[in-house]
Amino acid sequence: MVILITGATHTGKTLLAQRMLERYGYPYLCIDHLKMGLIRSGQTNLTPEDDDELTAYLWPIVREMMKTAIENRQNLIIEGCYVPFDWRKDFNEEYLSSIRFLCLAMTEGYIDAHFDEIRAHGSDIESRLDDSGCTAEHLKEENRRYARGFRAAGEKVIWIDGDYLKSISALLN
């Protein structure tokens, strides 16, 4: 089984992956780590700010890692924002039956009511070196973009609108 977790920034993708690792013992790959390894090693001239280009660059690598894990009957959690909205087109039904897809998004009301908490928890699992670009309006815009894109592709979006930890815990089953 491959569990693919995506969504906007600060939605808890890494936290959910960490909780799944702890619960199921499945290893996980953080796409951000792959991104930074390729950037820092000079394998690409892209920068961490080149989001659209990074999706096009990273997805073929992630996609083939997913296929390899499935072919080898290995469990793997992959989390990150660099997942194209139409990701399913890259897999036949045999692969798709072994992939659990989760897209996290926060409602605007949740962001308004909990913005300070969202920012405060931004480094719970990973240390964010510069989180100055995290504003309530930016989070709302990113959550709308991810929800719109994945819903247009026929995907279910998991909305966080109430008790955050309860919402994340419900996904562990």
What are the tens digits of pLDDT across the range 107-147? Answer: 999 999 999 888 876 655 565 556 667 899 999 999 999 99
Instruction: Report pTM.
Output: 0.92
- Starting at the edge strand that comes first in sequence, how are the strands of the sheet with 76-79 ordered? 28-30, 76-79, 2-7, 99-106, 158-160
List beta partners, residue 139.
none
